[in-house]
Chains A and B, each alone.
Chain A
Amino acid sequence: MTDYSSLDFSPLVEISGDEVVTHCFVRDVPLAAGRTLALVTLDNGRDHTRPNTLGPVTLLEFAATLDELTARAGRGEIHGVAVTGKPFILAAGADLTKVAEIPSLETGKLLSQLGHHALGKLDTLGVPSFVFINGLALGGGLEIGLNANYRTIDAAVPAIALPEVFLGLIPGWGGAYLLPNLIGIENALKVIIENPLKNNRTLSGADALELGIADVMFTSARFLEDSITWADGVIAGTEKVSRPNAPGKVERLVKWDVAVGVARKMLVNRIGEVAKSPYVALNLLQAAKSGTRAEGFQREDEALAGLISGDQLQASIYAFNLVQKRAKRPAGAPDKKLARPITKVGVIGAGLMASQFALLFVRRLRVPVVITDLDQARVDKGVAYIHDEIAALQTKNRISPDEANRLRALVTGTTDKSLFSDADWVIEAVFEELGVKQSVFAEIEKFVSPEAILATNTSSLSVEQIGSKLKHPERLVGFHFFNPVAVMPLIEVVNTPQTDDVTLATAMVIAGKLRKNAVITRDTPGFVVNRVLAKLLGEAMHAVDTGTPFEVVEAAVAPFGLPMTPFELLELVGLTVGAHVLDTHHAAFPDRFFESDNLHKLAEHGKILERDGKGRRTGFDKGALKIVAGGTTPMTAEQILQRVEDGLVDEIKRMLDDDVVHAAEDIDLCMILGAGWPFQMGGITPYLDRVGASERVFGGTFHTPPIRGIGAAVPAASAQN
């Protein structure tokens, strides 16, 4: 077994640079009967906006502190050790800011080993160890707790989780071994694998208690006092700790492998087999069934070293930073102070999309929202839909009865456009046709003030042309949502040459109030997400049209690891919409985008995939197969993959040269938030760089240096797996 104390961790310290060190402060707390508890506070000296993190210097200080406490315990000076955090925060996990700078596989491995070296000491103090989980505890932060003998938790903790798999990592400071042995394999699978993949879901204090992560929970008002009293009882032997979820013999013999097998199937189904870290975690969890703690830790060292040296982790961290940081400070956004206050919203259209807008606006802005349409019947139907949705929210206890009343009273419908006169934000969601949108805005402009901001949800038309008949085109902006409106976190805010800064600033502020991430794009066909998707879908349909079987096309793009295949995506957005998107892009860029007659026929037919009663796909629809039969020049999967990769590089390069968005980062952000493209690809451009496509197409890379792991010495073509 690895003797962690014999390792030289200086290579990690060398790259730790400006680490914000989380210090360990020790104070003695008197217990009953003259005993003493050494209470360790983790505190980086900053406020709660800069959580404690665990970098190399921090971990070495933690290890030294525990060594000293072990010596004190040996001398009988202390009878227990407890670790807690600064207000609201235990620790937010490993400091990953330097992961991109790790120079070698060995250094990467040291990162895991240092965690085991430091946190592992909580098990060898010679006296009981406790972690009082007083606040946020993520990843390595929670693993501090898992390494201790006992845990208490504050009922008010905002979030605890092991999100490593979400980031392309595994819980490698003991978590993958300790957690299943503490709370059972099924619970551990949920925490380590399922939750990170469910949009990085986190646990509450009550969840942690129920799962058995914490032994006991106390309310926040006296959390530390109660935790100390409880620890006193445990040390004195008066407090008995029971762990009903800890796995017994039967679970290990019978349940363990079965549960892992079920989880593996679920994983393959849900995310395919491209993303590595969930499977690495799964294997570690399986192995945690038997063997010693030291063996488990050593497996984690190997596993983590492999992931740290790989490409997916670097891409994931890049993606994570985009979502966490760049999304919050959108490139090119004007000063927020320019934004106009919005006190009333008008929605033109009362169809499904329009009603969804109205619901979102009234929920988030809580201002009057008036909807309109051609006739009263459509308006009534729209208002009824919104009222039903509000009632549904109330039934699910998502909003109180008072809030429901408030929202219902704010939503009105009318065919009298004069009721729009005091709206300061008017958004349309009418039929996707230039003439219709032009005349709708021209009409509403007669009623609203000259400053009222007009927003269009077009996905494929030129916003500038939509505004060409306006007296004040400077107050028109594109505001492109993704379906389903309530769920998808992206809005493309389309800035035309006429759009003024006040309008743009208002659109950005409104997007923020709707709790969406906004990316500013130029007024070019398809903006970002649809243009990139049109490239992919166009190539996929083109391959089908030339006679390539559906399954070959699906297999061809499988190495991307996308959340769904091109044909699943087409069915999701609707085949008619899909065909329309391809047509629009073909019309705009006829030499680069394919249109597909077959897709129109498939749309008329209604489906591509064959599904069982529960909606699970079982194959390809026979009618669909008949429609696309007849192509005579099928391609191989390799050919298709290269066409798609190269085509995406070409298109994205053009978009950047044309300044559709300011940087490749914004393209990636759009694809992650608007299309759910995976972190392991870094959105799209890190992937295109690492497979060599960028090099093939324009002799360079989108990112310099490319976003790759240190294992990148292997040839690009084989680095995908």
Chain B
Amino acid sequence: MAERAEVVFVDGVRTPFGRAGEKGMYWKTRADDLVVKAIIGLMERNPGVPPERIDDVAIAATTQTGDQGLTLGRTAALLAGLPKSVPGFAIDRMCAGAMTAVTTMGSSIGFGAYDLAIAGGVEHMGRHPMGFGADPNPRFLSEKLVSEDALNMGATAERIHDRFPTYTKERSDRFALRSQQKVAAAYSAGKIQPDLIPVATRSESGWGLATRDEAPRPETTMEGLATLRTPFRSHGRVTAGNASGLNDGASACLLASAATAKELGLGVKMIMTSFAFAGVEPEVMGLGPVPSTEKALRKAGLSITDIGLFELNEAFAVQVISFLDHFGIDDEDPRVNEYGGAIALGHPLASSGVRLMNQLAHQFESHPEVRYGLTAMCIGLGQGGSVIWENPHFNKKAAKR
């Protein structure tokens, strides 16, 4: 019988996120190369990890085709130079791909089957636009299983505005502005850079090096946001400014059993407490994190007030607002997305989960007064995913102060 284990987050990295499309910095970079570079960077940062001890490599992508197909976890492991004895597989849960890779590998470790695993994700939305080549079953519409809006993420965000009239466009824009400002501040303070693996980028005008995210617009103003088009609905509320963009990027993290981390002398950045996924109506998919968080809290025996830091994926400002509103948290609560979020940084779908974890892990270090943190995100087709983490740096004295 396998021995149950405590699951720890040892380290996580990501590539800088690029803007999708021909003008984006990764237009001539392969999707698999992005995640391979992330894995190599992760292994180089953790020289104490014997590569042959990695029990599995789970890599997520939403559109698993072309340079983003072919059982990514296995191919990426081979391309990253991990021993051939290390297995791998691919995962898809749309936006929560990397998060699901983490929970799946975490579960395998927790069950005692694995000691060490790599989990991550990649999405090259320039090469593989969301839903590209998909062939949805006609029954979805003919039997009204989902509304027409369900497959258009922007439209689902407009539906949240419909459902909660108090969530105004101005409120979404203000949240978006804060995200841009927080990212700019985090960059200035050097909070983002440490977990970035630089990527050589090729273009018509020669090789360059991506060392920063391409998407942030620190010059954003409320006035500027007010003038943006609402592409999903005329006179709507969702704009390119208060939503995450289309992006390219990859992430990877190292998970271990607490015993293995101790044996190998690996640092522990976070301890996995619980996780949950939950479904909602697909046409308001942005509400997903609410039930998934409630479920995860219940499993952990915690309440929302026990959570000291929140890393919420900002697919759309309005769906983060809906989450905060549900749990009675202010839009500008400093515990939420301290370094900003996907509205500024970008959201290469299946890679974002590990970005949330990297940022939470970083905040844990500087917040010994916090015991628990949450990473959560909404998922296309009406789902939410939540992982609750415990801070290994937690200090009771600090908490009392």
Which positions in A face B, CB cutoff 8 Å? 25-27, 29-30, 39-41, 43, 84, 87, 219, 221-225, 228-229
Contact = CB atoms under 8 A, between A and B. Distances in A.
B49 interface: no
A43 B206 contact: yes
**Chain B: interface residue count, which band?**
20 to 34
Contact of A27 (B41, B80, B206): B206
**Max chain A C-beta neighbours (<10 A), residue from B36, B199, B208:** B208
18 contacts: A25-B204, A25-B205, A25-B206, A26-B206, A27-B207, A29-B208, A29-B209, A39-B206, A39-B207, A39-B208, A39-B209, A40-B206, A87-B202, A222-B40, A224-B207, A225-B199, A225-B200, A228-B209
B129 interface: no
B211 interface: yes
Contacts of A41: 205-207
A421 to B, nearest CB: 43
Given A30-B211, A219-B81, A225 B37 contact: yes
A221 B79 contact: yes
A228 B204 CA distance: 20
Contact of A224 (B80, B81, B204, B209): B209
Interface in B7-54: 33, 36-37, 40-41
Nearest to A27: B208
Contacts of B204: 25
B250 to A, nearest CB: 13
B198 interface: yes
Nearest to A45: B204
A342 B208 CA distance: 49
Interface of B: 33, 36-37, 40-41, 79-81, 197-200, 202, 204-209, 211
Given A221-B36, A221-B81, A224-B200, A84 B207 contact: yes
Contacts of B211: 29-30
B198 A228 contact: yes
A27 B209 CA distance: 9
Contacts of A25: 204-207
Given A87-B202, A228-B198, A222 B209 contact: no
Contacts of B200: 222-225, 228
B40 A27 contact: no
Contacts of B41: 222
Contacts of B205: 25, 27, 41
Given A30-B211, A41-B207, A221 B202 contact: no
Contacts of B33: 221
Query: What 7 A-B pairs have minimum CB-CB distances, sorted nearest first?
Result: A25-B206, A41-B206, A224-B200, A27-B208, A29-B209, A25-B205, A41-B207
**Max chain B C-beta neighbours (<10 A), residue from A219, A221, A223:** A221
A43 B206 CA distance: 7
A137 to B, nearest CB: 16
Contacts of A224: 200, 207, 209
Given A87-B202, A228-B198, A221 B209 contact: no
A87 B205 CA distance: 13
A30 B16 CA distance: 14
Nearest to A84: B207
A228 B211 CA distance: 12
Contacts of B197: 225
B198 A221 contact: no
Contact of B209 (A30, A87, A219): A30
B381 to A, nearest CB: 34
A222 to B, nearest CB: 5
Contacts of A29: 208-209, 211
A87 B201 CA distance: 11
A40 B208 CA distance: 9
A223 B33 CA distance: 12
B216 to A, nearest CB: 16
Nearest to B202: A87
A635 to B, nearest CB: 65
**Max chain A C-beta neighbours (<10 A), residue from B81, B197, B206:** B206
B180 to A, nearest CB: 22
A162 to B, nearest CB: 25
Nearest to A30: B211
Nearest to B209: A29
Contacts of B80: 221
Contacts of B199: 225
A223 B36 CA distance: 13
Contact of A225 (B79, B81, B198, B202): B198
B117 to A, nearest CB: 20
Nearest to A82: B207
Given A30-B211, A228-B198, A221 B40 contact: yes
A102 B12 CA distance: 60
A29 B36 CA distance: 22
A225 B209 contact: yes
Nearest to A25: B206
A219 B40 CA distance: 10
Nearest to B79: A221
B28 to A, nearest CB: 9
B207 A222 contact: no
Contacts of A26: 206
A24 to B, nearest CB: 8
A486 to B, nearest CB: 32
Nearest to A228: B209
B74 to A, nearest CB: 16
Nearest to A227: B200
**Max chain A C-beta neighbours (<10 A), residue from B79, B207, B211:** B207
Given A39-B206, A222-B41, A225-B200, 8 more contacts: A25-B204, A39-B207, A41-B205, A43-B206, A224-B207, A225-B37, A228-B198, A228-B200
A30 B80 CA distance: 25
**Max chain A C-beta neighbours (<10 A), residue from B41, B81, B198:** B198
A225 B80 CA distance: 14
Nearest to B36: A221
Nearest to B39: A221
